[in-house]
């Protein structure tokens, strides 16, 4: 497993463990994209079965009493042209069944070839700013849903849909807005952005426009190089101290022999 894949798997496990945590923001449909500087990505979808049916037309039984088999979920997603990496164990919340599916996307610009992601258009390019500095430019527009009626789900109208973007580099610009007051939002832990929308607006087809500019270098590899440099400096310092101690010892030994 790649280092990025291991990190995503860890985040997925943490996310699953947080599903029942009342302090964590809960979404009826949550789509998280882990983007790399080469344009590849992993997309993790965590959603209720009714939301998958209503928003993406996924052929699953919305009945709370129906058995939800992870292999059935995998087959449905693969039939839609998606590269499924993992299907998590289903859970329940508010009387509805939820499931988490991790997808592999070799080229985010072609992510719509997975039918579940086909409501979005994607672009990912390298560009230069006004002073000639290179940057990565990511844009995603989530359009109208293409689903079916899930029946009487007993949604209250307060349910949220979330689109979270995990960027590989330092964020230079973004257009996140806070849902409550439509004011500019902020990044989480430096390079994580979340766009929120009410489920009612998502079902009505109100678009979500995501735009981000980042530095072209991966934070992960920058961190690894930083650690490597610090380690090399520490080794060099240790060798210098050893050399100095040995040299002084030799000088002292010569003095004693005189």
Please, which residues have CB within 8 angstroms of residue 238's CB and are 6 or more apart in sequence?
A: none
Q: How confident is the model at residue 230 (pLDDT cuts 50, 70, 90)?
A: very low
Please determine, for residue 2, whether its predicted confidence score (pLDDT) is greater than 60: no
Give Cα separations from 148 to 43, 62, 138, 145 (angstroms): 23, 11, 30, 9
Residue 205: which of 80, 55, 57 has the closest Cα? Answer: 55
Largest pairwise CA distance in the chain:
100
Report the pLDDT value the prediction gives residue 258, as an integer from 0 to 100: 60
Report the pLDDT value the prediction gives residue 18, as an integer from 0 to 100: 45
Model confidence, pTM: 0.77
Give the pLDDT confidence of 122-145 residue by residue, as tens digits: 999 999 988 888 999 999 999 999
Q: How confident is the model at residue 257 (pLDDT cuts 50, 70, 90)?
A: low
State mean pLDDT over 30-52: 97
> Helix, strand or coil for residue 65?
coil
Report the pLDDT value the prediction gives residue 238, as an integer from 0 to 100: 60
Neighbours of 144 (CB within 10 A): 13
Report the pLDDT value the prediction gives residue 222, as an integer from 0 to 100: 43
């Amino acid at each position: 497993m790649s280092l990025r894949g291991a990190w995503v798997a860890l985040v997925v496990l943490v996310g699953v463990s947080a599903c029942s945590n009342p302090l964590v923001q809960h979404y009826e449909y949550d789509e998280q994209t882990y983007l790399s500087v080469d344009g590849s990505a992993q997309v993790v979808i965590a959603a209720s079965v009714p939301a998958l049916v209503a928003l993406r037309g996924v052929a699953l039984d919305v009945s709370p009493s129906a058995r939800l088999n992870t292999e059935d979920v995998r087959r449905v997603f693969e039939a839609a042209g998606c590269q499924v990496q993992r299907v998590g164990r289903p859970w329940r919340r508010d009387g509805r069944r939820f499931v988490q599916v991790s997808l592999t996307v070799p080229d985010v610009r072609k992510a719509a070839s997975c039918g579940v992601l086909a409501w979005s258009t994607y672009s990912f390019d390298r560009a230069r700013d006004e002073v000639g500095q290179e940057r990565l430019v990511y844009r995603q527009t989530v359009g109208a849903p293409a689903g079916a009626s899930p029946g009487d789900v007993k949604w209250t109208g307060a349910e949220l849909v979330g689109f979270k973007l995990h960027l590989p580099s330092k964020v230079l610009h973004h257009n996140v807005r806070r849902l409550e007051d439509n004011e500019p939002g902020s990044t989480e832990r430096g390079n994580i952005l979340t766009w929120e929308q009410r489920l009612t607006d998502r079902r009505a087809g109100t678009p979500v426009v995501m735009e981000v500019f980042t530095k072209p270098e991966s934070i992960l590899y920058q961190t690894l190089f930083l650690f490597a440099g610090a380690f090399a400096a520490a080794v060099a310092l240790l060798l210098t101290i050893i050399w100095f101690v040995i040299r002084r010892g030799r000088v002292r030994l010569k003095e004693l022999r005189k």
